[in-house]
Amino acid sequence: MCFNLLEVKLSNIVYDYIEDYLRSIIPKSEGLMEDMEAFARENNVPIVQPEVAKFLSFIIKSNNAKNILEIGTAIGYSAILMHNAA
């Protein structure tokens, strides 16, 4: 696969095609998390992106974290995400 770097936009720190791929393999949220994502979208509340949420869950599970401190929260999305992962 060959890409012309002048035609590929950067989205923060990764290329758009990488971000698109990552998001395509992450399962969609359900229940409360899905409702919170919709609320955040509708009310312009910043929450972690799906790939960041998956990474946080991975880190928490792989380290068997039992105590997590989150400082600063908007609607508590990442706090609930981390609680569910622990």
Burial of 81 (0-12, 13-18, 19+ CB in 10 A): buried
36-63 pLDDT tens trace: 999 999 999 999 989 899 999 999 999 9
21-37 pLDDT tens trace: 988 999 999 999 999 99
Q: How far apart are CA 71 and CA 78, in angstroms?
A: 11
3-state SS string over 24-49?
Answer: HHCCCCCHHHHHHHHHHHHCCCCCCC
Q: What is the pTM of this model?
A: 0.76
Question: What are the sequence ranges of the domains in the chain?
Answer: 28-85
The enclosing H or E element of 14 equals strand 14-15
